[in-house]
């Protein structure tokens, strides 16, 4: 039975109403992105305002194209810090295009001498989309690992095109983009610091408050909810919100802050007024710039690739989504950057020899993210049996246990 029609129309209504009650950026349109043809003094950059150069690139990747905006100060000398920013305003289960209204979140950093890269999120949908169009957009978003594929594409492109200091790669985002930023920080080791303005940290609880209480939907979105990955946000983090913001739960934000692992600088800033959007412009971005320059933040040593690899195999149970019941493309990339061998990337790390053999590794079909449950046979059953391991079923996914 297809239960998706019970929640898709609700999300469309919520999407159409988003931002109607307070100041927000102009809506993104296809024309605002597609008709821009920047020309500029050098390397295709154009001067947006005195001291700020910008370029729009379309970057091809497996399965599609990501629109990437690059910003740099007009005067650059030596490696500079980089802020990675996704566009805000999505439904949390679909993507988002870039538009002129997004610049208000980009320019403050460039004016302070910081590079910026922003990017489209796969699966953008119009506010007047039909159920069929919304369904297709949601599938595209989930197949892009909830935009993580776009984030990696944009970060790779920025590192190759801009004079980036790799030790000062920061991520920031507002609202739905703040939710995305926290998820990216948990899964992308190159991000050194994260600032999240008015994030939804528990997507399941958020939609339940809005009247979407569907078990299948909850299972689907829990995979991309920051609270699911809170123990993996190892970087210094700034969480920001306004007390009069009616769009998020401050209690959930405080609980998320309390659940972050120790060992890095953590700040939770709640200003008394400003609502959902103006508070970010007035107080949030200035707080983030100060945070990004804080010596205590910059002195934090992020885990080495080897330490990240060890945590991947010996930490809490990890969840990987894939249509083939293997780790997803994003996980393969993650492992590759940490220097694991091809053999280790071809199977789950439990099968590649985890340091703690009894540690469970969860592998779930990616089709759950795309909205189509699958009950395919376990592809590793024979290999598990050969290695003296046992297989236990957990729900509709699979749990692989190394050892006895």
User: Rounded mean pLDDT of 283-292?
Assistant: 98
Q: Phi and psi dihedrals of 270, rounded to 5?
A: -120, 110
Partners of 194 in beta bridges: 171, 237
Give the residue from 300, 293, 311, 230 showing the smallest Cα distance to 264. Answer: 300
164 has a pLDDT exceeding 70: yes
Q: Identify the band that residue 288 occupies on the pLDDT scale cut at 50, 70 and 90.
A: very high
User: Rounded mean pLDDT of 109-121?
Assistant: 98
CATH homologous superfamily of 4-298 equals: Alpha/Beta hydrolase fold, catalytic domain (3.40.50.1820)
**C-alpha span between 92 and 202 (Å, rounded):** 11
* pLDDT at residue 300, rounded to an integer: 84
**C-alpha span between 245 and 3 (Å, rounded):** 31
**C-alpha span between 239 and 196 (Å, rounded):** 5
- Sorted by where each begins, the domain ranges of the chain are 4-298, 305-401
From residue 103, alpha-carbon distances to 13, 119, 148, 270 in Å are: 26, 12, 21, 24
Taking all residues of the chain, what is their mean pLDDT, rounded to a whole number?
74
- What is the value of pTM for the model shown? 0.72
* pLDDT at residue 42, rounded to an integer: 56
């Amino acid at each position: 039975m297809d239960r998706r029609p019970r929640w898709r129309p609700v999300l469309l209504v919520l999407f159409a109403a988003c931002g109607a009650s307070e100041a927000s950026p102009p809506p993104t349109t296809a024309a605002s992105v597609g008709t821009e043809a920047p020309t500029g003094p050098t390397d295709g950059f154009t001067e947006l305002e005195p001291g700020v150069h910008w370029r729009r690139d379309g970057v091809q990747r497996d399965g599609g194209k990501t629109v990437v905006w690059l910003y740099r100060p007009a005067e650059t000398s030596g490696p500079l810090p980089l802020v990675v920013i996704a566009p805000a305003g999505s439904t949390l289960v679909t993507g988002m295009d870039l538009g002129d209204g997004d610049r208000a979140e980009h320019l403050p950093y460039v004016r302070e001498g910081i590079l910026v890269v922003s990017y489209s999120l796969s699966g953008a949908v119009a506010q007047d989309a039909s159920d069929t169009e919304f369904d297709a957009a949601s599938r595209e978003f989930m197949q892009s690992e909830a935009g993580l594929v776009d984030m990696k594409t944009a970060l790779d492109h920025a590192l190759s095109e801009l004079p980036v200091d790799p030790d000062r790669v920061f991520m920031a985002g507002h609202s739905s983009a703040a939710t995305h930023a926290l998820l990216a920080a948990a899964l992308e080791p190159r991000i050194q610091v994260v600032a999240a303005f008015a994030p939804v940290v528990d997507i399941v609880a958020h939609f339940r408050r809005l009247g979407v209480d569907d078990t299948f939907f909850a299972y689907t979105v829990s995979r991309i909810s920051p609270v699911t990955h809170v123990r993996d946000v190892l970087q210094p983090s700034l969480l920001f919100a306004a007390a009069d913001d009616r769009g998020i739960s401050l209690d959930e934000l405080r609980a998320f802050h309390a659940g972050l692992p120790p060992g890095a600088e953590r700040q939770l800033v709640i200003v008394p007024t400003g609502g959902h959007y103006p508070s970010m412009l007035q107080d949030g971005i200035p707080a983030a710039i100060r945070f990004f320059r804080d010596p205590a933040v910059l002195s934090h040593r992020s885990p080495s690739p080897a330490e990240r690899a060890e945590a991947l195999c010996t930490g809490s149970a990890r969840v990987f989504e894939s249509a083939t019941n293997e780790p997803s493309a994003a996980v393969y990339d993650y492992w590759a950057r940490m220097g694991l061998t091809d053999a280790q990337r071809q199977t789950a790390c439990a099968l590649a020899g985890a340091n703690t053999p009894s540690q469970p590794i969860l592998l779930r079909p990616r089709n759950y993210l795309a909205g189509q449950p699958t009950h395919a046979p376990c592809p590793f059953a024979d290999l598990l049996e050969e290695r003296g391991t046992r297989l236990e079923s957990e729900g509709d996914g699979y749990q692989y246990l190394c050892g006895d």
